Chains A and B, each alone.
Chain A
Amino acid sequence: MTMPFYVAPEQFMKDKADFARKNIARGRPLVATVYQNGVLICSENPSRSLHKVSEIYDRIAFGGVGKYNEFDQLRVSGVQHADLKGYQFSREDVDARSLANLYARYMGNIFTHEMKPLEVEILVAEVGARPGEDQMFHILYDGTVVDEVRFTVLGGEADAISTRMAESFRPDWPLAEALAASVRALAGPDRRIGTQELEVAVLDRANGRRAFRRVLEAEVGELLAQAEETPTAGTADRAEGADGEEAARGGAGEA
């Protein structure tokens, strides 16, 4: 008697993981880091309309790398979950940790029970009321959740980018410096990334009820130029504070 299609469970899981990892690594990476006023999320994305970074709720943002349609479905589910939870209970009760766990459970379930795992890695970030209270959850294709407090890298070449980020990371750095370091880490030593290739968004504590704000191309250019003028230490703090105030005024109507 033969056992024609037997595959050992170890082999089966390993094949699935390799498949997911390989396809995720083909996508362009994403870096998220805490800064003075909240969380900065920065990604290489040539498309202006198909976003990798989006708003989930008042203080929560979503980032995804890998297969667009798969992480976009996760994003929409996250928005639906958050809005339902805020409606049923209170806006304050919607938090990133619980959403990250739901994502992890769903993605783990797919990885174990479906033929094809999800070819995505996602980020759920939440800005806290004070510096040091920001949270970032990095969720892998198999449902593994990693909790980060400084920065996290999603997608291909994550290790190399993480090493470069670790070299320049400084807690409480201003936005311009954090952005410049993130872009340098994404590009590596031999490459420059143009502003039109970047998708940047922040969760800004000073932005009113809805902390999420897209940083558009012109502002990205200004911030990068500003970072070049003030190479290291926190001399850009003053400009940063003014930035935050302006954003707060803009969003005040929705408070």
Chain B
Amino acid sequence: MSLPIFTPAEGPGPSFHELLKRTGLSPLAAPAVGGTAVPNGPQGMPFDLVHGTTICAVRYREGVVMAGDRRATAGSAIAHRTMEKVHPADSHSGVAIAGAAGPAMEMVRIFQLQLEHYEKVEGQALSLDGKANQLSQMVRGNLAMAMQGFVVVPLFAGYDLRRGRGRIYTYDPTGGRYEETDYHADGSGGRDARTTIKLGFREDMTREEAVELCVRALWQAADEDSATGGPDAVRGIYPTVATITAEGFARVAEPEVAGTFAGLVELLRATETRQLPAGEQGAHSASRGGERR
């Protein structure tokens, strides 16, 4: 490798993605896979695409909680049990991903580098809006791939140091960027998670309440959606939960998440079994799972 030296007019500026393009390394600018797809996979693809599933973000008193399950699927098979879908984007923001796992992980990696690169070159971090906008441009850059089924839908959240509050941004596959006021959930179990959060959301929640709400939303999503993984007590695999506050991005420790799940299970066991007459918890009860609300 040589030292990248650009004339002032031709330089990529503080953008790492532009630098990748200048050096011919950008995967997002790569031409889409050509030709007609072989109709084998679920979307006319010659292979089963690995998918990440349910992610959510909730605003609370001190900032934002983000959470995501750990399951990745390829068709109807479970591809991974321990995939991380919630990542720190920089010190005060996080990005969660749903959709085609390969391109999504690559997008997260470039996005993280993009923010750090800007911060180092310019000597100060981008504004939260600037970061959200950068991600939007990267999703749009993936449009050709999205048209072929490699859809990536990120969820971006962060603590706006200038405005002193948590903010949440959602995206569509064309790069459209929408700011949510309170919460959002995406992915295959996103609808179920969103409904759960909608019913449980209150203004000015504490950290514990917000973490519990996210955990509950993921539980309900896993209950309704086969591609979303629930807590795995046998292997000790629990969803990724993180908080973003004025102090920065911090993972919620796994024992705390496990404890929150244990509390939820206790609660559900009490409410769900009470509604059934004794002796009828057999085969017929399967049709009415999860209607606690």
Contact = CB atoms under 8 A, between A and B. Distances in A.
A83 B4 CA distance: 11
Contacts of B11: 76
Interface in A80-122: 80-81, 83-88, 102-103, 105-106
Nearest to A56: B120
Contacts of B276: none
A81 B120 contact: no
Nearest to A251: B91
Contacts of A73: 5
B2 A83 contact: no
Given A77-B3, A79-B117, A81-B3, A254 B25 contact: no
Interface in B8-48: 11-12, 16, 19-20, 23, 25
Interface string A56-84: 10000000000000000100111111011
Contacts of B123: 49, 51, 54
Interface residues of B, number: 27
A95 to B, nearest CB: 12
Contacts of B23: 84
Contacts of A78: 3
A79 B109 CA distance: 17
Interface string B42-56: 000000000000000
A83 B5 contact: no
B6 to A, nearest CB: 8
Given A84-B19, A84-B25, A253-B91, A103 B117 contact: no
A87 B11 CA distance: 19
A177 interface: no
B175 interface: no
A98 B1 CA distance: 10
B3 A87 contact: no
A102 B116 CA distance: 22
A81 B4 CA distance: 6
B90 interface: yes
Interface in B84-117: 88, 90-91, 109-110, 113, 116-117
Contact of A106 (B1, B3, B25, B88): B3
B19 A254 contact: no
B82 to A, nearest CB: 18
B126 to A, nearest CB: 15
Contacts of A193: none
A125 B200 CA distance: 52
Given A76-B121, A83-B117, A252 B19 contact: no
B248 interface: yes
B120 A54 contact: yes
Given A55-B120, A56-B120, A103-B3, A80 B19 contact: yes
B264 interface: no
Interface of B: 1-5, 11-12, 16, 19-20, 23, 25, 88, 90-91, 109-110, 113, 116-117, 120-121, 123, 247-250
* Among all A-B residue pairs, the 6 with the closest Cβ atoms: A253-B248, A253-B249, A102-B3, A80-B4, A79-B120, A106-B3
